[in-house]
Chain A
Amino acid sequence: QLQLQESGPGLVKPSETLSLTCTVSGGSISSNTYYWGWMRQPPGKGLEWVGSISYTGVTHHSPSLKSRVTISVDTSKNQLSLKLSSVTAADTAVYYCARHQGGSGITCTDVWGQGTTVTVSS
């Protein structure tokens, strides 16, 4: 059974870079069937797509975050990572990693991690 687990600092200072890792277990990240992505949810608000990546490194990003987002995969560790630079309080959210599949790579998000809370504050 595929499981995704997010990890990283729960507190990040304004203007610094948020770094998160997602460890995939029960399956391989090196599959051309799937993309892997990050979503986030600010407190009391809705879901927002951050970006996604294939195991070969093809990436898609939210236009509103694209200039600050770096997503990568480490196939040797079966991990997905997210870096978000120049963070502000508006980046405070629960961050989820997830698996996508479907006809255009990211059309169906079928497995989610439990999420990790990141607070941006000095």
Chain B
Amino acid sequence: QSALTQPASVSGSPGQSITISCTGTSSDVGGYDYVSWFQQHPGKAPKLIIYDVSSRPSGVSNRFSGSKSGHTASLTISGLQAEDEAEYYCSSFASTSILLFGGGTTLIVL
């Protein structure tokens, strides 16, 4: 199975909202409510920020939210802050019990 599709980069100004998409197929994103989102700063390990499409782990800001429509999941970051500048990855559980990742999206805070 192929990796999930994410835009290479998105940008926004402080205070604005941005949305990152993650497109898959009926065998992964469209077939299960098991989409996660990770934030990764340079040189650091990924950090879970959204799981099960729209749930937030304890301690993650409520500025981060997730949703899904059909084969596409989305991560929205509201009230953009400089510290949000990072790489963002989606992942999805897929049929035959495998885990797929998206190619990653660079968020640039202008």
A interface residues with partner B (beta carbon < 8 Å): 37, 39, 46-49, 52, 60, 62-63, 96, 102-110, 112-115
Contacts and interface: CB of A to CB of B under 8 A. Distances in A.
A104 B104 contact: no
Contacts, number: 69
Interface in B1-58: 1, 3, 32, 34, 36, 38, 45-48, 51-52, 57
Given A46-B3, A49-B100, A104-B97, 18 more contacts: A46-B102, A47-B89, A47-B91, A47-B101, A47-B104, A49-B98, A63-B1, A104-B32, A104-B34, A105-B97, A106-B93, A107-B32, A107-B36, A107-B52, A108-B52, A109-B91, A112-B48, A113-B45
Contacts of B108: none
Contact of B46 (A63, A105, A108, A112): A112
